[in-house]
Structure 1
Amino acid sequence: MQNLLFVALGGAIGASLRYGANLMAIAWLGKGFPYATLVVNIVGSFLMGVLFSAIEHGIIGNQVWRPFIGVGLLGALTTFSTFSMDSLLMLQQGEWTKALINILLNVIVCMFAAWLGLQSLVAKG
């Protein structure tokens, strides 16, 4: 039951951050491209890598932090469903180049960000 509360709390924070990121992206960059989705997916992927690295290296415990940060906060912050719908709508509107750029950036850059996050806590030397 305790983990469910941590997931819910993290989810509330992540969803609020995502909503705020969307409002800021529209205000600063307009609605021409799903910038907020891309940014939250990259940042969330990086932070997920950091989280898993921190757990793997014993810096933080898995019991509380993975449900709170990994499932709740980052699960609500990042969004595959919005990425999928944005890409589909671009394709339906004939914006093939934008759709391809969105797909490639979300997949490749997010995977690279997750890898960077994993590497961030690895001891060098």
Structure 2
Amino acid sequence: MNASSALLVVVGAAVGAPLRFVVDRWAREHTRAGTILGTLVVNVAGSLVLGLVAGLRDAPDWVLPLVGIGFCGALTTFSTLAFETWVFFEERAWRAFAANLALTFGLGLPAVWLGFLLG
């Protein structure tokens, strides 16, 4: 990776991270599902965008570091998904535990597939 690619990752992350924060705050303030919905939305949206980037055949060299790695990497969050799922496990909230995983993978995998097809 060269310096310009690293800079593109930083620029993409500078957009993805605040957007993730805004989505999370909106979900907390406007829905009963709160942060779990925010995590689901950013992970599914990020899966769609990353699939789109991966599916682009003639994309310029700057697209993957800027959008795929920087933006999607900062927007999506596996660690928050893992933490929220672990909390459900500890609380023995089995329906929420299963729903969180089922929705994330049930929507995320088709989203990345759709994005790839659109690319």
TM-score by length of 1: 0.88
CA shift for structure 1 position 34? 0.2
Residue from 19, 36, 54 that aligns with 1:52:
54
Aligned counterpart, 1:114: 112
* Structure 1 runs (4+) greater than 2 angstroms displaced: 30-33
TM-score by length of 2: 0.93
Aligned counterpart, 2:5: 3
Aligned counterpart, 1:90: 88
- Return closer, same or farther for 1:32/1:66 CA change in 2, 3 Å cut-off: closer
Alignment RMSD (CA, Å) = 1.3
Alignment coverage as a number of residue pairs: 117
CA shift for structure 1 position 32? 5.3
Structure 1, unmatched stretches of 5+, are none
**Is residue 24–residue 34 contact of structure 2 (8 Å, CA) maintained in 1?**
no
**Is residue 51–residue 112 contact of structure 2 (8 Å, CA) maintained in 1?**
yes
- Return closer, same or farther for 1:26/1:35 CA change in 2, 3 Å cut-off: same
CA shift for structure 1 position 33? 6.0
1:14-41: CA deviation from partner (whole Å, max 9, x where unpaired): 0000000001001110355600000101
Structure 2, unmatched stretches of 5+, are none
